[in-house]
Amino acid sequence: MSEPETSIFALSSDDAGVFNWNVDTNLLCADEHFADIFGLDPDDVRNGLPIETYLAAIWEGDRRSVAKTLHQAITTGGSCFQDYHVARPDGSMIHVVGIGRCFRNIEGEATRYVGVVFDDVELDNTQTETLLSLYYRNTERATFELEEDAGSDVLTRAVNRLEEKDKKSRITVHH
């Protein structure tokens, strides 16, 4: 990854995983904490993996809504707040909260989606209201409607492929 792509890792901490998705190349690079949250190899994650790799780690019950919310953010150039679960390779489930924002080039095309993911987060009502107000203030539409474009194609194919794979090998998750 180039300097601008990896310089965001200076923000890394033990409390959050920091990521940078290059929408053009479909490579998402992230720090070690992010890799740990998703149960992936830190070197692979730092160098960048396709978004499909991360979607595959998201619990199948949350995967569609995560993909739709990501698509909305890259379509509108807005912010994104997500609350979902990651199914880790050891069979455990982890609750995460993700906050991100899409950035566009001069032509208005989505180029970057950067953000942070917090694991095992319990937010109080005030924190939840603050995060949601930031999300809705920076989003053009509160509800999502799928529009056909390059971003939707990548996300739709990934989710459909993963759901087909999930049907073939159901995993039981115990809470």
Domain layout of the chain by residue ranges: 14-161
Does 122 have pLDDT greater than 60? no
Lowest mean pLDDT among 7-11, 142-146, 147-151, 154-158: 142-146
Question: How far, in Å, CA of 142 to CA of 8, rounded?
Answer: 28
Q: What is the mean pLDDT of the chain?
A: 76
Question: How far, in Å, CA of 57 to CA of 85, rounded?
Answer: 9
The two three-digit tokens of residue 163, written as one number: 């759901």
pLDDT digits (tens, 9 = 90+) for 100-112: 999 999 998 899 9
Question: How far, in Å, CA of 27 to CA of 70, rounded?
Answer: 14
The two three-digit tokens of residue 173, written as one number: 């998750």
Question: How far, in Å, CA of 22 to CA of 27, rounded?
Answer: 5
Structural contact between residues 162 and 55, judged by C-beta atoms closer than 8 angstroms: yes
The whole-number pLDDT of residue 92 equals 80
Q: What is the pTM of this model?
A: 0.69
Element spanning 126, H or E: helix 125-137
Element spanning 131, H or E: helix 125-137
Structural contact between residues 96 and 34, judged by C-beta atoms closer than 8 angstroms: no
Residue with the bigger pLDDT between 132 and 21: it is: 21
Helices (H), the chain: 3-6, 32-38, 42-47, 51-57, 60-76, 125-137, 150-168
Domain 14-161: which CATH number of 3.50.50.60, 3.40.250.10, 3.30.450.20, 3.40.50.150:
3.30.450.20
Question: How far, in Å, CA of 106 to CA of 108, rounded?
Answer: 5
Rounded mean pLDDT, 138-144: 40
